Amino acid sequence: MFVFFLVFFIFISITMQGLVIKNTGSWYTVKTVEGDIVECKIKGNFRLKGIRSTNPVAVGDHVEIERNQQDTAFITAIGDRKNYIIRKSQNLSKQSHIIAANVDQAFLVVTVERPQTSTTFIDRFLATAEAYSVPVVLVFNKTDLLDDDLMRYQQMMMDLYETVGYKCVPVSAETGDGMDVLMTLLHDRITLLSGHSGVGKSTMINRLLPGVNLRTAEISDAHNTGMHTTTFSEMLPLPGGGYIIDTPGIKGFGTFNMEPEELTSYFKEIFHFSKDCRFNNCTHTHEPGCAVLKAVEDHYIAASRYQSYLSMLEDKDENKYREAY
Ligand code: GDP
Ligand code: ZN
* Tens digit of each residue's pLDDT (9 = 90 or more) over 44-88: 666 555 556 667 888 999 999 998 877 889 999 999 998 887 766
C-alpha–C-alpha distance, residues 83 and 291, integer Å: 32
The predicted-structure confidence for 214-263, as pLDDT tens digits, reads as follows 543 443 444 444 333 345 678 999 988 999 987 665 545 655 566 788 89
d(CA 121, CA 311): 11
Q: Per-residue pLDDT for 11 more than 90?
A: no
Residue 30 parent element (H or E): strand 27-32
Q: Which amino acid residue places its CA nearest to atom 24 of ligand 1?
A: 142
Please report which confidence band the pLDDT of residue 325 belongs to, taking 50, 70 and 90 as the band edges: very low
Strands 15-24 and 233-237: antiparallel
Bridge partner list, 42: 75
Residue in 107, 151, 203, 213 to alter for ligand 1 test, most ligand atoms within 8 A of Cβ: 203
- Whether the Cβ atoms of residue 324 and residue 124 lie closer than 8 Å to each other: yes
Q: Which residue has the higher pLDDT, 208 or 70?
A: 208
Residue 168 scores a pLDDT above 80: yes
Tallying the residues shown for the chain, one arrives at 325
Question: What is the spatial distance between Cα 184 and Cα 167, in angstroms, rounded to a whole number?
Answer: 13
Residue 173 has pLDDT above 80, yes or no: yes
pLDDT of residue 91: 58
Ligand 1 contact via 221 beta carbon (within 6 Å): no
- Give the angle 251-101-55 at the CA atoms, nearest 5°: 85
Q: Provide the mean pLDDT of the chain.
A: 83
> What is the reported pLDDT for 282?
95
Mean pLDDT of 110-128: 93
Q: Which residue CA neighbors atom 17 of ligand 1 most closely?
A: 200
Q: Higher-confidence residue: 316 or 179? A: 179
The CB density around residue 96, as the number of other CB atoms within 10 Å, is 19
Could you tell me if the CB of 144 is within 6 A of ligand 1? yes
**Residue 91 phi, psi (nearest 5):** -80, 180
**From CA 101, how far away is CA 133, in angstroms rounded?**
12
Q: Indicate the SS3 state at residue 245.
A: strand
Neighbours of 176 (CB within 10 A): 11
Residue 219: per-residue pLDDT: 37
Gyration radius of the chain over CA positions? 22
197 lines ligand 1 (CB under 6 A): yes
Residue 16: its pLDDT value, please?
A: 92
Query: Looking at this protein, which amino acid is placed at residue 73?
Result: A
Cis peptide before 135 (omega within 30 of 0): no
Contact 25, 232 (CB under 8 A): yes
Q: Which atom of ligand 1 is nearest to the CA of 195?
A: 3
Average pLDDT over residues 183-193: 95
Query: What is the Cα–Cα distance from 145 to 84, expressed in whole angstroms?
Result: 35
Residue 58's closest CA among 243, 311, 319?
A: 243
pLDDT of residue 259: 78
Ligand 1 neighbourhood includes 206 CB (under 6 angstroms): no
